[in-house]
């Protein structure tokens, strides 16, 4: 069943009922000001950091779900309705929500009046625009009252939802003209305020939530709206809100637009005040003046669309499969940009208060967007690397506002350092900008410890090399990619964090997954050394990699698949010797991607085991058999009921690893089958089972052991976005950036006739035609560039600014 449909020409998903199984959201903003916006106009805004600079208030876990946002109440006689249905939930005559690239348009109609709410964050500005266009579609004059509504958050979202004894006394606002200014704590140490303004004279306003809603009411039925006039309340403490009242009379056929701006302003300390106690509003007024007319708003929307057209033109495919094209060309890249911006901080499942930017998460997100905005990838790499510890290990996360590492969930996740190599290698392959390796970058955010970025990579590699266990495999530390495999934790106390309990490093627990990473990213590191002329180092690195491969194929091999780990007692995890959890997905994907066992058949055997033991119709589960009881020696993984999350859920992030791995051994049919199983566009028609948005990936889909098999959770913020884009763009369609140029090596379903692809790379445009008349799954018989035959599969670098025609014949 579907709740809408794709509109590819406009790059939109069109939702046709407000009652989606879960709120289906969009992200507005891609620089500093961000808004989450659901299909009923729910959500919230923040500036840079969803914890420390929350602008509007949102209540997770509230009932009814998703009932705070930027709302317009339209009062038409005795009927009160919202264009997006919430929060009054008055039945509408028409409803539609279009989520596009950085904007959302919600349209509703009731009793002959239509209302269109366009919501977006303009490129280069720190505000959200909400334009409301009302139209009288009836034959009679309409006299309406329009009320806007936002609820301000007192900046720190954690404090805001916990420290009520203080916060009920601190709220302050100013109302001037058609703007409401939220200035809580501006009197003391804050240099920022927010405002909610409209480009029309007001018939009233409210800034006190109690005054607007009335006692014991919710925003489903504000007393002010019921009575038909605002009270011009000024909030002193309690809950400041922004409410404008505008009375609108529309002749038949007439329409009227109102432009609302939710803005964020910072003032330098010496310019904070216009008069004692009165904030300096100059920048706010300048911002309002930028969006005072429809022409200005139209212009800003056009710029936003042009911005996305430009970004998405870097990589686009025409394959004849419209689902594949829409995911590659639109939604998957869009989601990559969102995960880059948000990491795992703010979604409808991540509260924006729990996690900062993950070290490993951000490094992996970078793999998916580096081609879109290499300059910001460069900046991100330098920020992340600056949080690394001098011994090469890493804080697990950092706070985006301060860019400092934090120990909220500890450190000592021993896969972290290698992800830095993955990110830098991807950046170098995309850009060829080796100057980044010379950048002086702090260790532990301490400038006294700054060393060139290359030294950071070296210490990443050496950290793994110097932390090996009894089988010659890397020590796992608190956990590796799988945060829930906590082999040194042994927690028996409810509520303890599995990630920070116990020693960060036990003497023996080892990870085969990190071993696979070491081989893959060790090789990439050696390639970088080659480029810098560091021949000895390259040779040492390769020797260490070969030794690690042997350890994987020795104690890391279980007979028909790669083992997952060795626990703190030296027992194998993910082995046929185990009672539960005999086979895990992660090492199969990572080790085969790294090329381990390809020559002697273990790779193919391992992938066959995945197909036999882990595959389901909705994707590949993380492990089997699921853990049915708590295993003290394994930690959080066994805390989840069978089939959920890391305990045998379909953890989408690692499905593309297996798809990539299948291409490494030449299986195009199987690689694409795996790709399709979790790919949103291909499962749109089971939205009632899947429940999350059909245009983006979710972190998890309930596995075969779960009561709700096929139900997805945690949409949007997942490494699945980046890894799937790597899978489909580089491994399946086979356009692979290398240090020396683009390499073409498709691995596709044999039935596919071929495809055409446009790739902008290092300033040049490659128009690539792949011909698969031979109907093979993999193999390149001939390559020409502008009609000239090319030896091998790496295209010569075309000069920036030129366009070249590339013809690839498979066979
Ligand atoms: C979450 C985390 C990620 C981790 C994964 C598996 O998605 O953000 O860092 O690798 O879970 O545990
Ligand atoms: C929980 C989740 C896991 C996530 C981790 C982050 O363990 O199950 O997916 O990576 O929290 O701390």
Helix (H) or strand (E) holding 332: helix 332-342
Shortest-distance atom of ligand 1 to CA 482: 12
Shortest-distance atom of ligand 1 to CA 718: 7
d(CA 29, CA 18): 23
**pLDDT given at position 578:** 98
Shortest-distance atom of ligand 1 to CA 719: 7
**pLDDT given at position 666:** 98
pTM: 0.97
Helices (H), 439-534: 453-465, 512-531
Helix, strand, coil tally for the chain in percent (to 5): 30, 30, 40
- For a pocket test of ligand 2, which of 483, 647, 700 has the largest count of ligand atoms closer than 8 A to its C-beta? 483
C-alpha of residue 796 to centroid of ligand 2, in Å? 43
The first and second tokens of residue 540, run together, are 């040492």
**pLDDT given at position 385:** 97
Judge whether 164 and 151 are in contact, CB under 8 Å.
no
From the list 130, 206, 365, 483, the catalytic residue is 483
Judge whether 585 and 622 are in contact, CB under 8 Å.
yes
Q: Is 60 exposed, middle or buried (0-12, 13-18, 19+ CB in 10 A)?
A: middle
C-alpha of residue 484 to centroid of ligand 2, in Å? 6
User: Ligand 1 site: residues with CB under 6 angstroms?
Assistant: 344, 358, 360-361, 481-484, 646, 699, 718
Cα dihedral across residues 495, 500, 506, 511: positive or negative:
positive
The first and second tokens of residue 599, run together, are 């020559």
C-alpha of residue 389 to centroid of ligand 2, in Å? 23
Tens digit of pLDDT for each residue in 4-55?
A: 999 999 999 999 999 999 999 999 999 999 999 999 999 999 999 999 999 9
**pLDDT given at position 400:** 76
C-alpha of residue 411 to centroid of ligand 1, in Å? 14
- For a pocket test of ligand 2, which of 484, 500, 627, 715 has the largest count of ligand atoms closer than 8 A to its C-beta? 484
d(CA 153, CA 150): 10
Classify residue 264 as left (phi > 0), alpha (psi -120 to 50) or beta: beta
Coil, strand or helix: which one is 809? strand
The first and second tokens of residue 400, run together, are 């985006």
The first and second tokens of residue 349, run together, are 């499942």
User: Ligand 2 site: residues with CB under 6 angstroms?
Assistant: 409, 483-484, 499, 636, 645-646
Residue for token pair 């006689």: 77
d(CA 471, CA 801): 52
d(CA 182, CA 193): 6
C-alpha of residue 237 to centroid of ligand 1, in Å? 39
Q: Is 277 exposed, middle or buried (0-12, 13-18, 19+ CB in 10 A)?
A: exposed
Coil, strand or helix: which one is 250? strand
**pLDDT given at position 378:** 98
**pLDDT given at position 771:** 98
Cα dihedral across residues 544, 546, 552, 554: positive or negative:
negative
Coil, strand or helix: which one is 280? coil
Residue for token pair 């580089």: 730
Q: What is the mean pLDDT of each run of 10 residues along the chain (811 residues)?
A: 98 98 97 97 96 96 95 98 98 98 98 98 98 98 98 98 98 98 98 98 98 97 98 98 98 98 97 97 98 98 98 97 98 97 93 88 96 96 96 89 80 95 98 98 97 98 98 97 97 94 87 98 98 98 98 98 98 98 98 98 98 98 98 98 98 98 98 98 98 98 98 98 98 98 98 98 98 98 98 97 98 97
């Amino acid at each position: 069943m579907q709740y809408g449909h794709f509109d590819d020409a406009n790059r939109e998903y069109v939702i046709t009922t407000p009652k989606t199984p879960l709120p289906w959201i969009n992200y507005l903003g891609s620089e500093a000001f961000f808004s989450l916006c659901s299909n009923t106009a729910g959500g919230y805004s923040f500036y840079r950091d969803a914890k420390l600079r929350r602008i509007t208030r949102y209540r997770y876990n509230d009932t009814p779900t998703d009932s705070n946002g930027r709302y317009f109440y339209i009062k038409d006689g005795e009927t009160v309705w919202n264009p997006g249905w919430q929060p009054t939930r008055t039945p509408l005559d028409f409803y539609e929500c279009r989520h596009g690239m950085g904007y959302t348009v919600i349209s509703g109609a009731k009793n002959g009046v239509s209302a269109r709410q366009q919501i977006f964050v303009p490129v280069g500005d720190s505000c959200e625009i909400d334009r409301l266009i009302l139209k009288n579609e009836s034959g009679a004059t309409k006299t309406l009252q329009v009320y806007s509504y936002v609820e301000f958050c007192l900046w720190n979202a954690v404090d805001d939802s916990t420290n009520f004894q203080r916060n009920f006394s601190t709220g302050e606002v100013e109302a001037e003209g058609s703007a409401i200014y939220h200035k809580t704590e501006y009197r003391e140490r804050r240099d920022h305020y927010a405002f909610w303004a409209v480009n029309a004279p007001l018939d009233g306003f409210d800034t006190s939530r109690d005054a607007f809603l009335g006692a014991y009411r919710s925003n489903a039925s504000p007393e002010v709206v019921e009575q038909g006039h605002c009270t011009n309340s000024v909030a002193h403490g309690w809950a400041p809100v922004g409410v404008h009242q505008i009375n609108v009379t529309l002749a038949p056929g007439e329409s009227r637009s109102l432009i609302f701006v939710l803005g964020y302003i910072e003032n330098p300390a010496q310019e904070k005040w216009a008069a004692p106690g009165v904030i300096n509003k100059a920048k706010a007024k300048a911002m309002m003046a930028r969006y005072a007319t429809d022409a200005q708003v139209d212009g800003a929307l056009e710029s936003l669309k042009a911005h996305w057209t430009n970004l998405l033109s870097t990589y686009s495919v025409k394959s004849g499969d419209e689902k594949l094209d829409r995911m590659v060309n639109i939604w998957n890249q869009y989601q990559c940009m969102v995960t880059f911006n948000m990491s795992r901080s703010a979604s409808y499942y991540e509260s924006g208060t729990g996690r900062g930017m993950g070290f490993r998460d951000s490094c992996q997100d970078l793999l998916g967007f580096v081609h879109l905005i290499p300059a910001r990838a460069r900046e991100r790499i330098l920020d992340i690397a600056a949080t690394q510890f001098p011994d090469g290990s890493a804080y697990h996360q950092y706070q985006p506002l301060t860019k400092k590492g934090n120990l909220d969930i500890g450190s000592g996740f021993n896969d972290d350092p290698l992800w830095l190599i993955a990110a830098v290698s991807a950046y170098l392959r995309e850009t060829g900008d080796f100057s980044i390796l010379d950048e002086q970058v702090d260790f532990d955010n301490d400038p006294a410890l700054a060393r060139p970025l290359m030294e950071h990579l070296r210490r990443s590699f050496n950290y793994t090399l110097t932390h090996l266990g009894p089988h010659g495999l890397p020590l796992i530390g608190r956990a590796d990619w799988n945060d829930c495999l906590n082999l040194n934790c042994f927690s028996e106390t409810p509520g303890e964090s599995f990630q920070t309990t116990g020693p960060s490093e036990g003497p023996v627990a080892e990870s085969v997954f990190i071993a696979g990473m070491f081989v893959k990213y060790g090789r990439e590191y050696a390639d970088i050394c080659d480029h810098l002329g560091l021949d000895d180092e390259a040779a040492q690195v390769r020797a260490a990699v070969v030794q690690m491969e042997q350890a994987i194929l020795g104690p890391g091999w279980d007979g028909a698949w790669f083992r997952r780990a060795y626990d703190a007692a030296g027992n194998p995890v993910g082995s046929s010797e185990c009672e539960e959890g005999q086979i895990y997905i992660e090492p199969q994907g990572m080790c085969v991607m790294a090329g381990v066992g390809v020559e002697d058949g273990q790779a193919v055997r391992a992938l066959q085991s995945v197909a036999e033991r882990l595959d389901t119709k909705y994707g590949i589960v993380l492990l089997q058999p699921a853990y049915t009881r708590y295993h003290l020696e394994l930690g959080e993984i066994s805390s989840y009921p069978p089939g959920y999350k890391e305990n045998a859920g379909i953890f989408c992030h690692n499905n593309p690893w297996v798809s990539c791995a299948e291409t490494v051994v030449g299986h195009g049919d199987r690689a694409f089958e795996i790709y399709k199983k979790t790919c949103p566009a291909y499962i749109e028609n089971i939205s009632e089972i899947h429940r999350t948005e059909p245009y983006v990936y979710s972190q998890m889909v309930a596995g075969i052991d779960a009561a709700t098999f096929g139900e997805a959770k945690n949409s949007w913020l997942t490494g699945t976005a980046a890894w799937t884009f790597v899978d489909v763009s580089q491994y399946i369609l086979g356009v692979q950036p290398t240090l020396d140029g683009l390499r073409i090596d498709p691995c596709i379903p044999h039935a596919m006739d071929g495809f055409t692809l446009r790739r902008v790379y290092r300033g040049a445009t490659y128009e690539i035609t792949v011909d698969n008349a031979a109907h093979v799954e993999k193999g390149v018989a001939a390559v020409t560039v502008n009609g000239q035959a090319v030896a091998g599969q790496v295209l010569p670098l075309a000069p920036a600014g030129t366009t070249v025609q590339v013809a690839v014949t498979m066979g």
